[in-house]
Structure 1
Amino acid sequence: MVRVKDPAVRSLLLDRAAHMLATRQPVTLRSLVAGTSVSTMAVYTYFGGMDGLWKAMRQEGFTRLAARLAAVAPSADPVRDLAALGAAYLSNALASPDLYRVMFDASVELEDIAAADQTLHCLVRAVDRARAAGRFRDDIDPLELATQSWTIGHGLASLVGTGPLPHQALAHGVPLLTALFTSAGDDPDQCRRSVELGWHP
């Protein structure tokens, strides 16, 4: 009889490994399962071994991010949606700070690079919508603006979620994104209102 894999066990091992890395604990087969109800065999069952665990851990960060971004329902205001996507990015980082650290460790391969890239292209599509709606100039490069927006979110996530700034610093996202989107051609007052509507990390 084939045993059905339990997604909860997989998530447990991924979260535990990410936390151990973040707290500089050595991650071995035995230390990973110590204090849990699973055996070392679970690492082979779910990941094929430790190498598979590292890849899966990084990929899981992007999988959870993609789910957060997909949950942002498009509205009639594409600039509001861009701010909401940025807030979703931050919420994901703050919900899983240990996994968030691992996501951007380029020394570990990704299982599916294209799937990870789609998280950025979600922002690119939102910029395209804003440009088509006349909120941004026609000469704006959607990928460049999306990357700049991601940079703001990543900076806040790192400084608040895993760094020295208090949670209140997330409010800086409103003026930062407003300045960025205004530089792309949006009306300053309309832009500020849109960003405030979407920015709820």
Structure 2
Amino acid sequence: MRTLLIERAAHMLRTREPITLRSLVAGTSVSTMAVYTHFGGMDGMWKALRQEGFTRLGARLATVTTSQDPVRDLTALVAAYANNALQHPDLYRVMFDADFGLEDAQAADDTLEYLVQAAERGRRAGRFRADIQPLELATQSWVIGHGLVSLVATGPLPRETLDYGTTLLTALFISSGDQPDTCHQSVEDGWKQLLATG
């Protein structure tokens, strides 16, 4: 029942239907009391909706296998982020709505940590300069993925816009110390994950 309500609320957001306690349960076999039982009210439901978005993102990032190529892995994580947004556009829209907190704020931090670890591996392997801060590089990578997919998943641009990801990530990683030829191949290999599961 909890999942049903979360999915329904996300769908209503996407279709721009007004969400009230009554409209949320309309047409279902669920009573308004269920919203209080499972979420403590509408504010709790919004928190749960955001939480579900980060939970699904974390689960998606966890499926990215670690290879011997950390630049490929970092790229694959950005591709997985984009895939998650495309597969769950309703939840993606509300994930970054700061009007409501999260039930578990650490879950959001944990998603970024996947990228931080890949960036750290890249630095240790000599692919990135020693002075590169993994958190900064991970954040910059995330920004590229977020910007592109926001324009596609919930915005006005066609899916082909995501093709710019390889160019943008390659430029970022080369500026961080990676060698152009090696970098280009790693990014291409990682970005293929977007096509493989998208």
Shorter-chain TM range is over 0.9
Find 2:61's aligned residue among 52, 59, 69: 69
Name the CA distance, whole Å, in 1 between partners of 2:44 and 2:89.
21
Name the CA distance, whole Å, in 2 between partners of 1:65 and 1:187.
30
Q: Which runs of 5+ in 1 are unaligned?
A: 1-8
Find 1:42's aligned residue among 34, 39, 57: 34
Question: Offset at 1:185?
Answer: 0.5
The superposition leaves residues 94-152 of structure 1 with CA deviations (integer Å, 9 ceiling, x where unpaired) of 11111111010111111111121111111111100000111001000111111100000
Find 1:54's aligned residue among 24, 27, 46: 46
Which has the higher mean CA deviation after the structures are superposed, 58-67 or 34-43? 34-43
Question: Offset at 1:59?
Answer: 1.0
Q: TM-score scaled to structure 1, two decimals?
A: 0.92
Question: Is 2:37 the partner of 1:30?
Answer: no
Letter in 1 for 2:47: K
Name the CA distance, whole Å, in 2 between partners of 1:142 and 1:56.
30
Find 2:98's aligned residue among 90, 94, 106: 106
Name the CA distance, whole Å, in 1 between partners of 2:28 and 2:9.
12
Letter in 2 for 1:167: R
Name the CA distance, whole Å, in 2 between partners of 1:29 and 1:94.
27
Aligned residue number for residue 12 of structure 1: 4
Letter in 2 for 1:159: L
Q: Which runs of 5+ in 2 are unaligned?
A: none
Aligned residue number for residue 152 of structure 1: 144
RMSD of aligned Cα (Å): 1.2
Q: TM-score scaled to structure 2, two decimals?
A: 0.93
Q: Is the partner of 1:38 in helix, strand or coil?
A: coil
Q: Is the partner of 1:86 in helix, strand or coil?
A: helix
Question: Offset at 1:38?
Answer: 2.2
Letter in 2 for 1:133: A
